[in-house]
A and B are shown apart, each in its own frame.
Chain A
């Protein structure tokens, strides 16, 4: 069952001498309980997409269904069941943390607001900042307060736009754990954008890669990574480096000498491609004492995909 369905979303903005397409025929769906990642370089259209889905921007064309209802016609009802957190927009800077959260709890009609605020601020470790104005908080603290706001109404759909930016590694890990826990316990669907690829790889069930306003690929992190052609191998030899070099040359593999006894080279990113080569080394009595296989990562996929000119 889908929580969110975006169909053929298009958004253009006027620029000097024409219009710039920020979102170009974007379609995807998020299943119930799924964490869906939206990746792409700056300006790829991720935030514009989230702003359309949260009702802040009206698209030129396209449809959005959330909880099986037309979002643009049922905004009041749908908005009461979702929430949003971003590192780029704080809550009201002139209000204290407590005042802000009380106002938002009331806006969402949260019952037992005081207890809820108390529990969430404790979880995100911002309860000691209760009476400080948001303007006086550090950027990481502001983000944590926004995350608390995002969970106030027990959302069934969460939009998280780079919500771990500015958090220290420990707090970023705590946040990831809390989000995983919330997703597991409530079955909440999450649309997640981040520039931390390890975070995306760990959290997201599926990932859509955006480039110049378009979704160019959707899939699981593992299947995206499989698309990378090559993986890097580093070998450290105890002796007879020349024999290894001869074998690599014969196989048509380009290599780099890393040190007096180490070589690195690229092989195809397929299952079992390294074994035939290693067999040849063994047969030729080439002895190596360390092998390092650098599996391609989502980060490499991101970089390769971003640099690709289409």
Chain B
């Protein structure tokens, strides 16, 4: 693995971002919109409720951005390579698929941190909510699990795009939102109906947001739950990577890289 090839790809994404305003815009626009809508709503509910709902909602919202951007940006920038017809020349260079995917993962992380920064600043400025009031170690652990899971989902969708092309691009935007209702981002696990709870309890994201709420209420973290989530995301990432390798081999057999989209 060569670091200069990973930085070359990051330079590519940087140029791409500064040349297309919409890619800069979506790091700012959606977090901004989320903070306003959810913030106003929770501010209203806060007035008629005894529960500290502001912390619950904004905490979930600010942390969700990590999995959201980590998974979506990975796929969107991969598709941009297809749309800009650059995959042909790119895959004749010595770049390895692992370097290509790592560059996309790092990009997702950078954009997550940027979006998180915007959301944190806004939520503090508007609602005096600071995610940094919580235990920073807890926070870092939860973020790590979310980012790893986000990468796993992103890699899995990328595998489908490598194999079937951008005609299945709808998955890039929709998959993460299928995971969200089962992840208990804004409500506790008990709030879900039984059938949904059975799905939710498998997902590492549910455990992360449950632990976030526990941490916000001053309770100790359930390390068993976190260990489960961590092992889950690592196994998921390895599986996603294996599927990716298989998909790329399939794409090369089908000649997908050599066909204009």
Contact = CB atoms under 8 A, between A and B. Distances in A.
A83 B2 CA distance: 19
B19 A95 contact: yes
Interface stretch (A86-94, A122-130, A253-261, A285-293): A86-94
B88 A89 contact: yes
Nearest to B248: A58
Contacts of B81: 92
A144 interface: no
**Which of B16, B84, B96 has the most chain A CB atoms closer than 10 A to its own CB?**
B84
A13 B258 CA distance: 13
Given A48-B255, A58-B249, A103-B15, A91 B86 contact: yes
B12 interface: yes
Interface string B246-261: 0001001111011010
Interface string A8-45: 00000100000000000000000000000000000000
Given A96-B19, A107-B5, A107-B94, A58 B89 contact: no
Q: Give the interface size bracket for B toward A.
A: 20 to 34
A99 B15 contact: yes
B8 A89 contact: no
A61 interface: no
Nearest to A149: B89
Interface stretch (A73-81, A173-181, A209-217): A73-81
A79 B255 CA distance: 18
B184 to A, nearest CB: 39
A61 B104 CA distance: 32
A146 interface: yes
B258 A57 contact: yes
B49 interface: no
B45 interface: no
A95 B5 CA distance: 18
A86 B95 CA distance: 19
Contacts of B85: 89-90, 92-93
Contact of B94 (A58, A79, A94): A79
B174 interface: no
A83 B81 CA distance: 19
Contacts of A91: 86, 89
B180 to A, nearest CB: 30
Interface of A is mostly: mixed
A107 B8 contact: yes
A56 interface: yes
B16 A94 contact: yes
Contacts of A56: 88, 91-92, 252, 255, 257-258
Contacts of A79: 92-94
A84 B4 contact: no
Interface string B10-25: 0110011001100000
B169 to A, nearest CB: 17
A76 B96 contact: yes
A306 interface: no
Interface in B72-104: 80-81, 84-86, 88-96
Given A56-B258, A57-B252, A75-B94, A106 B15 contact: no
Given A57-B258, A89-B260, A103-B8, A94 B20 contact: yes
A94 B89 contact: no
Given A94-B20, A94-B80, A103-B11, A89 B252 contact: no
Contact of B92 (A48, A55, A92, A99): A55
B225 interface: no
Interface in B93-125: 93-96
A182 interface: no
B116 to A, nearest CB: 26
A88 to B, nearest CB: 7
Interface of A: 13, 47-48, 51, 54-58, 75-77, 79-80, 83-84, 86, 88-96, 99, 102-104, 106-109, 133, 146, 149
20 contacts: A47-B258, A55-B91, A56-B252, A56-B258, A58-B252, A76-B94, A79-B92, A79-B94, A80-B94, A83-B92, A91-B86, A94-B20, A95-B12, A95-B15, A95-B19, A96-B19, A99-B19, A102-B11, A106-B8, A106-B11
Given A54-B92, A89-B88, A92-B84, 16 more contacts: A13-B254, A56-B257, A79-B93, A89-B89, A89-B260, A92-B86, A94-B20, A94-B84, A95-B16, A95-B19, A103-B15, A106-B5, A107-B90, A108-B94, A109-B2, A149-B89
Top-10 shortest CB links A-B: A106-B8, A92-B86, A89-B88, A79-B94, A99-B15, A51-B258, A80-B94, A92-B84, A107-B8, A58-B252
